[in-house]
């Protein structure tokens, strides 16, 4: 059946790597800070992701590939046997509901604190990030990180591959490297967080080296069809800047293209022209998230359709998935979206996490008579 418009296209199937997605709606990675002690995934996390398994693809919250890579407390990991085992309940629940799920591998780099990891954060250079980071004792200014010695840089790149292997053992369909939002990969790409003078700093060729090594190692570990990367060109988060974003990402994509990745996942953090140029330069699948990371508004169907017209293959939705576990069906039927409660974004129990219902359940619930209705009927 021919696709008549972008609305239809959003809901058509797509082959991503070796997966067939039933639609082009991607659940974007979102920190929910509900892991158990030791960075373990929980039964509630399994319920949360399984509820949203109608997405063409789910990308999990950021998962630290090592203890030194942990950015915030209450986040899950993939660097111990216990953590790996704990994720099986999540992947199993998603697959049982017919879904597909990638683990996002996120190394915080300098965006961390000793109160969280027990170690001094690391980064490309001894330059602290801007702003405060969450700790168990409340927000704290980010300390000056320890600059990695040249031979240590490769070790951090390999940590993504090691976590990728664990992800496969845990039953994930693939992994996404978090190269966005001011974390370690983007710190190396930066012109102000990376002031190195060795082979990992200075020129564009050198600044993209860490990203290329991390992705290449992961591809060798889990396969190209199971590997993606998320990027946010010059988003400015945590003080990370890229003064040469257009040339930088042109060079990065040129190095990554021969690997045959499942996708790149790009956030609309710069002018459209840069992202459209990235689309033209990238030969494989491209996911676009229409919102700048610092924009608190939800992405909507209009934004999705706009980026499909610009050549995106899939569209990722973040906040809209929090309050709407049945987001795909709501988009399909043109139903209104429920509001999510920001008070429950990060941490806490199941309330504001697994307690959002589908539109059908909302409708049935709202149609049930209240006690006042029954009392009024008894008086009539």
Confirm whether 183 is a catalytic residue.
Answer: yes
DSSP letter at 332 equals H
> Which residues contact residue 287 at a Cβ distance below 8 angstroms, ignoring those fewer than 6 apart?
26, 228, 263, 264, 265, 266, 312, 313, 314, 315, 316
Maximum Cα interatomic distance, the chain, rounded to a whole number of Å: 85
- Tell me 237's DSSP state: G
At 57 the three-state DSSP class reads: strand
Buried/exposed 163-188: b ≥16 CB within 10 Å, e otherwise: bbebbbebbbbbbbbbbbbbbbbbbb
Place of tokens 């309330």: 351
Q: What are phi and psi of 315, to 5 degrees?
A: -125, 130
DSSP string, 78-109: SSSHHHHHHHHHHHHHHHHTT--EEEEE---T
Closest CA to 73 of 122, 139, 161, 170: 139
Backbone φ, ψ for residue 201 (5° rounding): -140, 165
Cα torsion 185, 190, 194, 198: sign: positive
Active site residues: 183
């Amino acid at each position: 059946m021919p696709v008549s418009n972008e609305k239809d296209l959003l809901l058509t199937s797509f082959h991503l790597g070796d997966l067939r997605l039933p639609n082009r709606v991607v659940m974007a990675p979102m920190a929910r800070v509900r892991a158990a002690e030791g960075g373990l995934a929980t039964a509630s996390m399994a319920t949360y992701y399984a509820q949203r398994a109608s997405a063409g693809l789910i990308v999990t919250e950021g998962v630290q590939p090592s203890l030194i890579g942990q950015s915030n407390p209450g986040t899950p990991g993939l660097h111990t046997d216990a953590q790996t085992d704990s994720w099986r309940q999540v992947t199993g629940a998603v697959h049982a509901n017919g879904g597909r799920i990638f683990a996002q591998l996120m190394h915080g780099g300098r965006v961390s604190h000793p109160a969280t990891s027990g170690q001094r954060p690391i980064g490309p250079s001894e330059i602290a990030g801007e702003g405060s980071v969450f700790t168990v004792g409340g927000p704290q200014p980010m300390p000056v990180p320890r600059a990695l010695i040249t031979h240590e840089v490769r070790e951090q790149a390999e940590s993504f591959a090691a976590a990728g292997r664990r992800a496969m053992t845990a039953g994930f369909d693939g992994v996404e490297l978090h190269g966005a939002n001011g974390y370690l990969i983007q710190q190396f790409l930066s012109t102000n967080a990376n002031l190195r003078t060795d082979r990992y700093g200075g020129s564009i060729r050198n600044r993209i080296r860490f990203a290329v090594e991390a992705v290449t190692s992961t591809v060798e570990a889990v396969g190209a069809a199971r590997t993606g990367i998320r990027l946010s060109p010059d988003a400015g988060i945590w003080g990370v800047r890229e003064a040469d974003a257009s040339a930088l990402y042109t060079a990065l994509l040129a190095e990554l293209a021969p690997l045959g990745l499942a996708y790149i996942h790009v956030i609309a953090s710069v002018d459209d022209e840069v992202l459209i140029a990235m689309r033209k330069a990238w030969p494989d699948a491209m996911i676009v998230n229409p919102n700048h990371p610092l924009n608190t508004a939800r992405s909507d169907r209009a934004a999705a359709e706009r980026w499909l017209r610009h050549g995106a293959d899939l569209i990722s939705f973040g906040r809209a998935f929090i309050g709407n576990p049945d987001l795909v069906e709501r988009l399909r039927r043109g139903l209104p979206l429920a509001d999510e409660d920001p008070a429950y974004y990060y941490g806490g129990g199941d309330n504001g996490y697994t307690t959002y219902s589908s539109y059908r359940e909302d409708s049935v619930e709202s149609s049930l008579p209240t006690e006042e209705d029954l009392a009024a009927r008894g008086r009539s």
